[in-house]
Structure 1
Amino acid sequence: MNPTATLSDNLLNTSIKEDASDIHFYPFNNYTDIYFRIQGKRVKHSRIKLKQYEQLLTYYKFISGMDIGESRKPQNGTIQHRTTSNLFSLRLSTLPLHQTESLAIRILPQETKRTLEQLFLFKSQLNKMKEWMSNRAGIILLTGPTGSGKTTALYALLESILKEKSYQTITLEDPIEKNMDNILQVQVNEKAGITYQTGLKAALRHDPDIIMVGEIRDKHTAKFAFEASLTGHLVLSTLHAKNAMGTIHRLVDMGIKRSDMKQSLIAVAALQLLPLQMKGEFTRRAAILELLEGTLLENTIEGKPLTELDTFHSFEYLRKKAFAYGFISKKVYHS
């Protein structure tokens, strides 16, 4: 194995061992700093020579199918990495800088050992989301910042539901983050003419019960997702938003009419990951959820403020509850 491949393997294996969700490369004049994102926090891992980084960048571009000679435009690629216990899909993204490029790698486990129940801290919230999945038409949104577990939760929910009932499920993703056997997964590829719009038209001919749109990133995708929900199908998607209330504001900013939201939006679940502890030791991360549905959702869409009669559990309330039960440390509660 050549030195660059060895450096890559050591780096990837270390990041996985430390339960990192991302690797960030920051190139400077003579060196490159490497950071891991662990439990949502960015931690400096090491520093390598700039020449080593340039060789590593070329290596990653080559094995992920990027254009090695292109450094002026952002590029994306994916590779597979297997450890002794798990398979990981790595999503690579380059960003042009002055005279060089930065690189970010998202680490996506493909053979997760955690059950659906382990992904969520409070079982009642999981049960509520399962109830939403019984709808046969409309749109359900999982929201939160990068790395909050939106896509992981969405995949896990889909897998759980499909074990219980046989639904024709089609996903439109850019990129596909986890390969699943019992779902038809479509890789959106703008260059090849496979857009969200063309993908939807093709998907509808396959008589789907459930359509999953990987992520709503812009106005066009938002419009597309809501139009899909009006075709008599259940649509699931993710969106970047700070909290549940902020999701409605994001949709308004993206040009979605409040009347369309009232007609199509079934519910919103905003996720926040908490590092759990048992006897003072960190065990795993689990999600708490701000949930919007029913009358509360309708009032939020209409812009009405919360009242004392509304039963809405904010992240602050849920963190306080988690701390009271001894699930999280005082430091995590106040962070």
Structure 2
Amino acid sequence: MNKEFYELIIDYNFVKKYDVKALEKALILPFFEDEIYTSCAVCKKSDIKFAKTCFFNITKFLEFKSEEILFYLSDIEKRIALYNLSLEVVKTNSTQECIEEFLTLLLDFSIEKRASDIHFETHNDYLCIKFRIDGKLKHIINFHKNFYKVISSIIKLKASLDITQYKLALDGRFSKSIQNSIYDFRVSILPTLYGESIVLRILDNKTIDKKLNALEFSSNIFKSLEEISSLTQGLVLVCGPTGSGKTTTLYSLLKSLDYKNKKIITVEEPVEYKIKNICQINIDKKRGLSFNSVLKNILRQDPDIIFIGEIRDSLSLQIAIQASLTGHLVLSTIHSSNALNAISRLLDLKCQNFLLSSTLKYIFYQRLVLKVCPFCNFKGCYKCNYTKYLGRTVIAEVIKIDEVLSSLISKNETFDSFKTYLNTIKFKNILDDAKEKVKKSLTTLDEVYKVLGFEDEV
């Protein structure tokens, strides 16, 4: 059985021997040779005759997709540089200068590729590096396993962690100037069967500097978000799974409020992005600063607006409700499968119906879908890493709690009663919103169905 690309260690010095443009045209990727064999990747469209004229050894052809071949031939100079630095580091027994140069180049490469995370995965005989781009993991390059402890050590040093510790979970953080901007990197390290899994979350403050009108919400959603700025009290929820853009929406919402003349406090675990003129509390259980202890004391700070990272239990909901009732605007998130289901989740947390009906103001539910690449018109190109998609856009739904919905909540009416009423007011659900973006050629129905879990309908 052929190995996958993510299992191969490509000898980029071998690739460098050939004209990359010619290899791209022929859809051929040579990745290794010894005294007898030359191994190369081909696809159904490859020019096999071209390959046979290039390689003098017995050629082993491994079949892959054409877009995979083109992707691994892209950014070839950076790949060669990373590969050679890894070899030099191991050969010279880890000179500090080489390691620093490797890490700087890798981080620069990740920023250029618009990655949100960098993954280092240690396997039986190789170290694998992947970038998460537009929410999807993309394999980038492999190195020999003996390079693993070197890269692990420098990341631990940067994050002020114990470089001798390989058997415990570790968390840290460091900052670095890249391309004239300061980036924060949140470090998570877990021991695995063959070494460690290291993940760097790239925290770019430009992400949360976006104004609400730059988040690409449909007009009806954007209008509801704007209306929140006029609220002086009540509970507003933004729902969606991890990676659905909730943090960006909430931070943009916070920054749209009159934060200069109001006391805004956030309770987060952890604080990912720092916002000027807002008091942010970073939960740290190791130091005795627990989520519950902060929430119990937060009203003594006389805030106008409170952002609670997540309503996770009855206590956090109770405090959110109490704050809403006593003249505070509370923003938070809760796990639910759609906007309407959030009401059921709140009631499951033992919230009294009449209290919820008088405090809940808006429920937003959002997801992110891939956008069709504007540079290649869905054919695949260098800009989109040959995936046909570039960037993501938000799809969403919003329920505004009007008098009728408030009454339904107070009376503990059935789920069907809520749905019936929403139908009468022509409620636009997230699939309706998504289909409008499909009509505008911003995304595809295939992508929408995958994100919303309707793959069987594709």
Q: How far, CA to CA, are the matches of 2:143 and 2:405 in structure 1?
A: 50
Say yes or no: does 1:120 pair with 2:216: yes
User: CA contact under 8 A between 1:108 and 1:177: conserved in structure 2?
Assistant: yes
Alignment deviations for residues 76-121 of structure 1 (CA, whole Å, 9 cap, x no partner): 2222233225332222222333363312222221134644212123
Q: Deviations over 1:38-76 (max 9, x none)?
A: 222222122223332332223223322344454444332
SS for the counterpart of 1:148 is: coil
Taking the aligned partners of 2:394 and 2:122, their CA distance within structure 1 comes to 33
> For 2:363, which of 268, 273, 282 is the aligned residue?
268
Q: 1:229 to 1:100 in 2, by over 3 A?
A: farther
CA distance 1:85–1:209, shift in 2 (3 Å): same
- Map of 2:438 onto structure 1: 323
CA-CA distance at 1:225 after TM superposition = 3.9
Segments of structure 2 that go 5 or more residues without pairing to the other structure are 1-95, 379-388, 451-458
Give the aligned length. Answer: 333
Q: Flag the structure with larger Rg.
A: 2
What is the Cα deviation at residue 314 of structure 1?
2.0
- The equivalent residue for 1:158 is 254
Q: 1:50 to 1:276 in 2, by over 3 A?
A: same
Specify whether residues 292 and 330 from structure 1 end up closer, same or farther in structure 2 by C-alpha distance, changes over 3 A only: closer
> Which region of structure 1 is more displaced relative to structure 2, 289-298 or 305-314?
289-298
Alpha-carbon distance between aligned partners in 2 of 1:108 and 1:82, rounded to the nearest angstrom = 12
- Matching residue of 1:168: 263
2:104 is aligned, of 1, 5, 9, to 9
Offset, 1:3: 2.9
2:401 equivalent to 1:286: no
**Of 191, 202, 209, which residue of structure 2 is paired with 1:107?**
202
Checking the alignment, whether the CA contact within 8 Å between 2:235 and 2:321 is kept in structure 1 is yes
Task: Tell me, in whole angstroms, the C-alpha distance in 1 between the residues paired with 2:157 and 2:293.
Answer: 29
Q: What is the aligned-residue RMSD (CA, Å)? A: 2.9
Compared CA separation, residues 93 and 218, structure 1 to 2 (3 A): farther
Q: Are residue 38 (structure 1) and residue 133 (structure 2) matched?
A: yes
Encode CA deviations 1:203-236: one digit per residue, 9 max, x unaligned.
4333210111223455654555445444432111
| Greater displacement, 72-81 / 212-221 | 212-221
**Superposed CA offset, 1:233-286 (max 9, x none):** 211123344432343454455x24252533433222111123334473766433
What's the CA shift for 1:12? Answer: 2.0
> What is the rounded CA distance, in whole Å, between the counterparts of 2:271 and 2:219 in structure 1?
28
- Counterparts of 1:15-30 in structure 2, within 5 Å, are 15-30=110-125
Q: TM-score, normalised by structure 2?
A: 0.64
Cα distance in 1 for partners of 2:370, 2:401 equals 30
Distance 1:49 1:220, change over 3 A: farther
Q: Is the 8 A contact 1:170 1:183 kept in 2?
A: yes
Q: Which structure shows the bigger proportion of residues in strand conformation?
A: 1
Which residue in the other structure is 1:137 paired with? 233
Contact 2:246-2:366 within 8 A present in 1 as well = yes
Distance verdict in 2 for CA 1:50–1:124, change over 3 Å: same
Q: C-alpha displacement at 1:131, in angstroms?
A: 1.1
* Amino acid in the other structure paired with 2:424: L
Q: Is the 8 A contact 2:235 2:324 kept in 1?
A: yes
Give 1:156 shift: 1.0
Match of 2:415 in 1: 304
Measure the CA separation in 2 of the matches of 1:53 and 1:173: 33
Q: What does 1:51-70 correspond to in 2, within 5 Å?
A: 51-70=146-165
Instruction: Please tell me whether residue 199 in structure 1 is matched to residue 294 in structure 2.
Output: yes
Contact kept, 8 Å, 1:276 with 1:327, in 2: the verdict is: yes
Checking the alignment, whether the CA contact within 8 Å between 1:62 and 1:68 is kept in structure 2 is: yes
Aligned counterpart for 1:87 among listed residues 182, 192, 198: 182
Higher relative contact order (CA 8 A, sep 6+): 1
Shift of 1:317: 1.0
Give yes or no for contact 1:77–1:92 (8 Å, CA) kept in 2.
yes
SS at match of 2:368: strand
1:181 aligns to 2:285 (yes or no): no
The alpha-carbon distance between structure 1 residues 309 and 196, as it changes in their structure 2 partners (threshold 3 A), is: same
Superposition pairs of residues 247-258 of structure 1, within 5 angstroms: 247-252=342-347, 255-257=349-351
In 1, distance between residues paired with 2:211 and 2:328? 27
- Whole-angstrom distance in 2 between the partners of 1:30 and 1:140: 50
Mark the runs of 5 or more structure 1 residues left unpaired by the alignment: none
Q: Which moved more, 1:269-278 or 1:13-22?
A: 269-278
